[in-house]
Amino acid sequence: MEARIVGGGIGGLAAAAGLTLAGWRVHVYERADALADDGTGLGMWPRALRALDALGLGDELRRRAAPQQPGVIRTCDGRTLATIDTERIRRRAGETVHVVARPELLALLFESLPDGTVHFGEQAPYDVDADVVIGADGARSAVRRRLFGARYDLRDTGRTVWRGVLDVRVEGAGEVWGPGAKFGYTPLTGGRTNFYAVLPVASPPCDPARERDLLLSHFGRWPEPVPSILRQADPARLLRHGLRYLGPKLPSYVSGHTALIGDAAHSMTPDLGQGACQALIDGLTLARCLARVSTRGDIATALRDYDRQRRGPTQRIATAARWVGRLSTARRATRVRDVLVRAAAAV
């Protein structure tokens, strides 16, 4: 059997790794000339780690990643809302969250594939002779648009996130919430710190110096280490993205012999830190469903099984992420929000 994968991101490479292990011939088409070498820290939750274990890559991921540090969620005036109890996650799931830089995860997946699997700098041909086509081409997926039309597209939240990696280690992890804004940070390996800032700005300035001035004017008097992180960060290395999500929800992740995975299927806001995890699980689940295929006639059943397993859970997570994003950056009734969050944390 042969699969053609459109997009060489996390989901596409995970699907390629799983299908290769299942004996499929796989071609991945990536428009970029090389693997992405930018991007900040990604939290790998236990289910995503188990997916990597199934691909034979879990131990190496743990070596390259840093265990998530215990931390705290605070308000911008320093009051504690909730603690981040990583030990509780370990007790319930068998291990804790690991934080890895996005380039490290991409490299790990790429290195597991046979030479020549990924075709860089190439647009994917829509080859009807391939047994399966997998759309892993991201939030602005051309494959999704071809299958379902322009109605299913990205919706703007009105918020922007700045992300970066600081070459200085900050002890502990945390998130700080203020009216309409939030700031988060967590340590990485190699003495580095991953951080992000969210503001209710739809079209911020693109000049690095002006952007840092904007961030410092808003976050400069927030509790430490927020101001120190921003003052030490290199403005030229900040990544900026408008926060968007896919809407409305897709009626299916499959059509004919084509399947969608990752952001192409369920682009979500990053408020639960689940985008990369769900793309990994999508890729492995699809590969497992297709591994049972022995004839072309079995493919439709396998794709329906993939859709049944993944559409409901990922769409629920995407909805929850939007809800948490609105809650954490609420502009009004923040005192009520804080009371509710403390109560939920206590329970």
pLDDT in tens, 193-241: 999 999 998 766 677 778 888 999 999 999 999 999 999 999 888 989 9
Angle between helices 102-111 and 10-21 (to 10 degrees): 20
Q: Decide if 41 contacts 100 (C-beta within 8 A).
A: yes
Does 260 score more than 80 pLDDT? yes
Instruction: Note the pLDDT of residue 11.
Output: 98
Sorted by where each starts, the structural domains of the chain and their CATH numbers stand as: 2-68+97-155+245-327 (3.50.50.60), 157-243+333-346 (3.30.9.30)
Give residue 114's pLDDT: 97
pLDDT beyond 90 at 182: yes
What pLDDT does residue 236 have?
A: 87
Q: Report the alpha-carbon distance of residue 298 to residue 295 in Å, rounded.
A: 6
Task: Report how far apart, in Å, the C-alpha atoms of 195 and of each of 164, 199, 234, 239, 255 are.
Answer: 6, 14, 12, 11, 38
Asked if residue 157 lies in contact with residue 325, where contact means CB atoms within 8 angstroms, the answer is yes
d(CA 244, CA 155): 5
Using 50, 70 and 90 to split pLDDT, how confident is the model at 127? low
**Upstream peptide bond of 205 is cis (omega within 30 degrees of 0):** no
Strand 41-44 relative to strand 98-101, pairing: antiparallel
| 346, two tokens | 């206590």
Residue 133: its H or E element: strand 132-135
How many Cβ atoms from other residues are within 10 Å of residue 2's Cβ? 13
- Roughly what angle, to the nearest 10 degrees, separates helices 46-54 and 86-93? 50
Question: How far lies 268's CA from each of 155, 165, 275, in Å?
Answer: 10, 22, 7
Higher pLDDT, 102 or 171: 102
- Type of residue at 112: S
- pTM of the model as a whole: 0.93
Q: Which residue has the higher pLDDT, 117 or 210?
A: 117
DSSP secondary structure letter of residue 95: S
Averaged over 314-322, what is the pLDDT?
Answer: 97
pLDDT for 343 equals 78
CB 264 within 8 A of CB 152: no
Burial class (CB in 10 A: 0-12, 13-18, 19+), 298: middle
Residue 9 CA to residue 110 CA, distance in Å, equals: 9
Q: Which amino acid is at 222?
A: W
Query: Which residue in the block uniquely carries the two structure tokens 């990205």?
Result: 154
Checking if the pLDDT of 347 tops 70, the result is: no
Residues 133 and 224: beta-carbon distance below 8 Å: no
DSSP secondary structure letters along 255-282 = ETTEEE-THHHH---GGGS-HHHHHHHH
pLDDT at 54: 97
Give residue-wise pLDDT tens across range 29-80. Answer: 999 999 988 878 899 999 999 999 999 999 999 999 999 888 899 999 999 9
Mean pLDDT of the chain: 92
Per-residue pLDDT at 34: 94
Specify the pLDDT at position 233.
Answer: 92
**What is the rounded distance in angstroms from the CA atom of residue 310 to the CA atom of residue 322?**
19
What interhelical angle do 46-54 and 275-291 show, nearest 10?
Answer: 40
For position 97, what pLDDT does the model report?
Answer: 93
Beta-carbon contacts of 115 under 8 Å, excluding residues fewer than 6 positions away, are none
Q: How would you class 46 by CB atoms within 10 Å of its CB: exposed for 0-12, middle for 13-18, buried for 19 or more? A: middle
**pLDDT tens profile 292-314:** 987 888 999 999 999 999 999 99
* Residue for token pair 């200085």: 168
Mean predicted confidence (pLDDT) in 340-344:
79
* pLDDT grade for 151, boundaries at 50, 70 and 90: very high
The two three-digit tokens of residue 91, written as one number: 């007790």
Could you tell me the two tokens for 145? 């648009």
What's the whole-number mean pLDDT along residues 320-342? 88
